[in-house]
Structure 1
């Protein structure tokens, strides 16, 4: 194992010797405090920042208890399972406890023995530490930190085993209990606390406390910026400006309605395909994820291939949108299609939906089929869920206690606040999106990075109250689009109603819309012309994957959808590089002949428009 650097080891050894005098020796007489000037100044700054922090936290809004954590039912069911296990198999519980006690005592005895010998012995054949939280060599070589780390790992293992071995009656409850256990384990990692984080202590010593002052300032900044909520900033909010150094593809806002702005992008070729494309992004986030920089902009790339491209920029709703439901978004889709047809004088268009934008596109297409409206020539779905029979990592949040809590919250406030959505999504990857950034920002005193993707991730939007409940209950919980039909505008909408050519892109490591779930939804659509492409990477990086980067490959398969996603994957062909050209080849066949390029009218101002700048 790597050894600690001499300065690091020396600092901690000296600190230990001062803290623990030899047994029986007389303590030194108290000395007058000798605080360096910089340290004294930092202490004053900490006091002022602490007062600001207290004031900011006092402004935290009160939320319905149902959105703050699992309801009492889960705790009661876990308690009943524990009582059942204790009465039926007491030896099993005793065995677990004895195992935990034995590991703890053996660990403590080993540390005592090594300290008595004057050093911490690290076996030459010790396995390399795979947890990136414990990369500092002091976790292995220093007795104190090694004791803390190893005991944490013993505790974590015991907690996971205890939760996993409970005989919960409902597998959903078991899933939620395991998830909650892991959240507690991650929250109490020693790296999350100054006294047990060697990196943070070293930085504080090196900077005479300046890093802690900066960390506290970062914490105060985040709490103040989020109205009393403790949400760590993932990116430098001053490094980017939408329309200036991100989201800069040229175009014009050609329609402006209460719920959306419609952007038509300027052509970069002399001719374009006759059939235009309209892209519906999710309104959970802002559309410029598809136009961060010129070199990774899907919007610019589509335009460069010779297409007339329209993109919807959704309104960031306030309380006045409380009664806006899924039916209103479907009506907006139809309104957008009307606008595209009017502007281009083309009776057909190709539609693209991303994430929940694709889910709502599926509802719209089913409605259009039942109405006999055949304007959409083909549909493409980016990481879209339409079959919610399996809920994956969202299972803990899609049960009645959470959904009823959200319903009560939006009934009171009119919206599902961006901060609550951000928090929910972040805790799906807590170590990467919560605790890791918090350590760097608050314990190490580092400034957030100038990272465009993380800037976009933090540029959150509210959700209309009624739409939130429509989506959670009707689609996620009841799965009506697959089952008896989703009721809307006098129709019962089903996936089987979608009969036009379909192409869907799933992403291999997507934790928000797992590709197997996306695949199953496409399989149930009524079209005889269906294509599925599986990209490497996740929900964002798998989609924003330009050909120039040659970073992530993709899988294709000409077979049908009859044998399940795993069989599809097993017989699929892998190709290096982006899926964009493969999709464009499919799209080209459904986009008509070439016509003179269409230049957008002046409309309502330049892209990216005004709605994208609205904040919660």
Structure 2
């Protein structure tokens, strides 16, 4: 026993190793009292700042402001631009008063706030054009300042956009002609009903009560017939009932992300990827993750690998007798599956026939807009919240995702609900999006440090069983899917799997975003994709060159993947014998 705080020497070495590995040690209640004070203060402060670190924001602002102060050329450029924008606005206003047309500046393609014809009439046109010109000027002011760290520049640009969006003329009755027209037509009833709705939403938010959803697992969604064939403290393994007389010999394991519930891949019958696969002769197994609580605070990322991926593989091979399994991972589930595959390859475990990664990153140097909320300061802030309650709450994660699309998820929603009194846009994907999960303190801490901040997996420094794993060891063929407008796993980041592995990789780029791009059943208009095989011995092709070189195909990407999967799924045979268990969707997905 060493004298330091009464902690055994072996435990001291373990904690020191954890620090060297990039993982912060836990903070047991009986140790490191000063750290508990810091954590308690940060946890309290986080409730006031929506879990955004004021230190991180302050550092970004200081970096930008100091370098702008040291850049007189940039200041002159901004002054000239402000004068030009002001002249453009005055010229536009004069033309509008005289009945002229035209625009001083156009909104971005995804900005629908001023689409209504009412915004083209005076004086509303002047308000909208003035706002858009201000938005354009602030984007110039917060970007391209010499010497500012790229991350800080992105943060300042993002915060400026959030502040501008909060005062957009579309948000207020006095400056929104559409809301005024609705109010006159309805005699103010929309405002009264909006106020009542706001009160109900506020009461529900203060009480922490989730909003009611129209699509419930096991009733309207997650209804593909199946059985829970294995259960442990972290997962339920669902095997879906066969829908064909014969099935492929090699079953498929699907590993969804644990940040949300699994049924994104089994929504309504018409857009269920699971149903699509079983109707084409695949034996599909799905992991359903437990929604962790404070008692699960010490679950590790390796527990998710062992109790999730590896336990599922053991159960599947035992139940079916198949020597190998096709495996598919979505989002974080794909990252975890890649870790498991690399560890299996290192250890000579050949039970993976193929690997499919859906919108999943294995290299985190370009992680998308979520990186705005992930740096050392922000991670320390999140750790305080997780330390206090044992997990990262759904509301703390939802706030970040809403800010990334504040026009659609915050301000436009408030306009529709509180000023225009429009009904909710209920659909299965929106209901799933509201059905978020928690994440254990230790697992999420390890994920943020080892993968997001230190990128250990891509650099062959991630440890499994005390030894590093390398993606280059993976020998199974890979099918990787990126989505064009993904803000969580940008497609160029997903594409890096080609450079990090030494096996054949089929890469597919589909239209849509992180969720809607994956949930892309046949028959939906406006969908398209590109796909190409990268042989094992082929030269690397940069992502933009790959995109330019490959033809665009109209329609869903599902048939292209299913055809590839069928080639690796073996011959047809009788379905494996049934296994007794509870009916799908099981109990874990229903837990609040």
Under a length normalisation based on structure 2, what TM-score does the superposition of the two structures give? 0.85
- 2:511 maps to what in 1? 536
Residue 119 (structure 2) pairs with residue 139 (structure 1): yes
The 3-state SS of whatever aligns with 2:555 is coil
Q: 522, 525, 528: which is aligned to 1:547?
A: 522
Counterpart in 1 of 2:242?
267
- Work out the CA distance in 2 between the residues paired with 1:77 and 1:540: 30
Q: Structure 1: how far apart are the matches of 2:295 and 2:234? A: 11
Between the aligned partners of 1:124 and 1:191, the Cα distance in structure 2 is: 21
- Give, in whole Å, the separation in 2 of the partners of 1:465 and 1:455: 26
- Partner of residue 319 from structure 1, selected from 287, 294, 297: 294
Aligned partner of 1:571 in structure 2 is 549
Q: Separation in 1 of the partners of 2:355 and 2:70?
A: 57
2:563 is equivalent to residue 581 of structure 1:
no
**Residues 94-117 of structure 1, C-alpha deviations (whole Å, 9 max, x = no match):** 663465367558856985x79xxx
Say whether 1:609 aligns with 2:592. Answer: no
Paired with 2:495 and 2:539, the residues of 1 have a C-alpha distance of: 8
Deviation, 1:64, is 5.6
Question: 1:501 corresponds to which residue?
Answer: 477
Aligned equivalent of 2:187: 208
Question: Is contact 1:287–1:312 with CA below 8 Å preserved after alignment?
Answer: yes
| Alpha-carbon shift at residue 125 of structure 1 (Å) | 4.6
Secondary structure at 1:379 match in 2: strand
CA displacement, residues 194-216 of structure 1 (integer Å, 9 cap, x when unaligned): 22222222223333332122222
Q: Which residue of 2 aligns with 1:477?
A: 453
1:72 to 47, 52, 55: 55
Partner of 1:346: 322
Give 1:209-608 correspondences, 5 Å limit: 209-227=188-206, 237-332=212-307, 333-527=309-503, 529-549=504-524, 551-559=526-534, 560=538, 562-598=540-576, 600-603=578-581, 605-608=582-585
* Pair member with larger Rg: 1
Q: Tell me, what secondary structure is at the counterpart of 1:173?
A: helix
What secondary structure sits across from 1:573 in the alignment? coil
Matches within 5 A, 1:73-222: 74-76=57-59, 78-79=61-62, 81-86=64-69, 89=72, 93=75, 96-97=78-79, 100=82, 103-104=85-86, 107=89, 120-126=97-103, 130=107, 131-143=111-123, 145-222=124-201
**Contact 1:81–1:167 at 8 Å: present in 2 too?**
no
Between the aligned partners of 1:445 and 1:552, the Cα distance in structure 2 is 32
Q: How many residues align?
A: 543
* More displaced 10-residue stretch of structure 1: 360-369 or 286-295: 286-295
Kept after mapping to 2: 8 A contact 1:557/1:573: no
Partner of 1:63, secondary structure, is helix
CA distance in 1, matches of 2:137, 2:313: 57
> Per the alignment, in what secondary structure is the counterpart of residue 558 of structure 1?
strand
Q: Distance in 1 between matches of 2:489 and 2:84?
A: 42
Confirm or deny: 8 A CA contact 2:63 2:152 kept in the other structure. Answer: no
Matched residue of 2:239: which SS?
Answer: strand
Question: CA RMSD for the aligned pairs?
Answer: 2.7
After TM superposition, the structure 1 = structure 2 runs for residues 34-53 of structure 1, keeping only pairs within 5 Å, are: none
Q: Distance in 2 between matches of 1:126 and 1:153?
A: 10
Q: Secondary structure at the match of 2:496?
A: helix
Secondary structure of 1:311's match? strand
Shift in Å, 1:78: 3.7
Q: In structure 2, do the counterparts of structure 1 residues 311 and 84 end up closer, same or farther at CA, with 3 Å as the change threshold?
A: closer
Partners of 1:342 and 1:80 in 2: CA distance: 57
Deviations 1:298-347 (A, max 9, x none): 11110011111111111111111111121110012111111111221222
Hey, what's the Cα distance between the residues in 2 that align with 1:587 and 1:468?
32
Contact 1:285 1:461 in 2 (8 A): yes
d(CA) in 2 for partners of 1:369, 1:440: 52
8 Å Cα contact 2:329/2:335 also seen in 1: yes
Distance 1:489-1:213 versus aligned 2 partners, 3 A rule: farther
Q: Any idea what SS the aligned residue of 1:539 has?
A: coil
Q: Describe the superposition over 1:124-143 as per-residue Cα deviations: whole angstroms up to 9, x where unpaired.
A: 45589654211233322132
What residue ranges of structure 2 are gaps of 5+ in the alignment?
Answer: 1-42
1:582 Cα deviation after fit? 1.9
Shift of 1:429: 1.7
Gaps of at least 5 residues in structure 1 are 1-59
Instruction: For residues 500-537 of structure 1, give each alpha carbon's deviation from its aligned partner in whole angstroms, at most 9, with x where no partner exists.
Output: 2211111122221111111112431232x321122222
- The 1:201/1:375 distance shift into structure 2, 3 A limit, reads same
- Change in 2 beyond 3 A, CA 1:255/1:514: same
Contact 2:492 2:543 (C-alpha < 8 Å) held by counterparts: yes
Q: Distance in 2 between matches of 1:266 and 1:342?
A: 17
CA separation of 1:66 and 1:400: change in aligned 2, threshold 3 A: farther
Retained in 1: the 8 A contact 2:71–2:145? no
Instruction: Tell me if the contact between 1:214 and 1:446 (Cα under 8 Å) persists in the aligned partners.
Output: no
Aligned partner of residue 548 in structure 1, secondary structure: coil
Q: CA deviation at 1:607?
A: 1.1
The range that moved more, 309-318 or 94-103, is 94-103
Q: Distance in 1 between matches of 2:88 and 2:243?
A: 70
Secondary structure of the corresponding residue to residue 133 of structure 1: coil
In structure 2, distance between residues paired with 1:304 and 1:95: 61
- Per the alignment, do residues 206 and 306 of structure 1 end up closer, same or farther by CA in structure 2, a change over 3 Å counting? same
